[in-house]
Amino acid sequence: MTNQGILPSEDGAQRRFDVELFIVHPTLDPAEITAALGLQARIAHRVGEPRKTPKGTPLPGNYQDTRWRHSVRYDVRHQWFADRLTNLVDRLIAHKIFLANLRSTGGRASVIIQFLGDGYFGDQVPHETLGKLVELGLDLGIECFSVPQA
């Protein structure tokens, strides 16, 4: 019953969630991923670069692999999220060959729904969307925070 008869939450409170594409690869340059997908990374680091915290403080060692994460934040006043997930998956269909090559060369990719601790979410991900995830070789991740995130 995704998005049918969207009603605001009882308290009218705003809720946030992110829909993300997360890629890990042993050798790819993050710029290649960005160029191939036409999506900007919110967070990216390249294999072999010096490690650092999200605020830029140096850490010991170098990154062991490339990590690239595209993220879109949604602010809503209802519980539904599946249509936003479907939008990203549909956008990725055009990049099926790139994603297959990514996996065949040792990488992995997942679509992540990240609930940021603002309240109740509930929805149904349509089987068509789940089938497209399989077709694209994408894993599905769900991250839930019990305390609201900044």
pLDDT tens digit sequence for 17-48: 999 999 999 999 999 999 999 999 999 999 99
Residue 1 has pLDDT above 60, yes or no: no
Look at 148 and 141; give whichever has higher pLDDT.
141
Q: What pLDDT shows up at residue 10? A: 57
Residue 9 has pLDDT above 70, yes or no: no
Residue 3 has pLDDT above 80, yes or no: no
Q: pLDDT band for position 129 (50/70/90)?
A: very high
144 by Cβ neighbours in 10 Å (0-12 / 13-18 / 19+) ranks as exposed
pTM of the model: 0.86
C-alpha distances (whole Å) from 6 to each of 45, 60, 88, 140 are 39, 49, 20, 25
- Percentage helix, strand, coil for the chain under 3-state DSSP, each rounded to 5: 25, 30, 40
The neighbour count for residue 116, using CB atoms within 10 Å, is 19
Query: What would the pLDDT profile of 46-95 be if each residue is shown by its tens digit?
Result: 999 999 988 889 999 999 999 999 999 999 888 889 999 999 999 999 99
The neighbour count for residue 92, using CB atoms within 10 Å, is 21
Q: What pLDDT shows up at residue 147? A: 80
Give ∠ CA 103-137-102 in degrees, rounded to 5: 20
**CA–CA distance, 147 with 32 (Å, rounded to integer):** 35
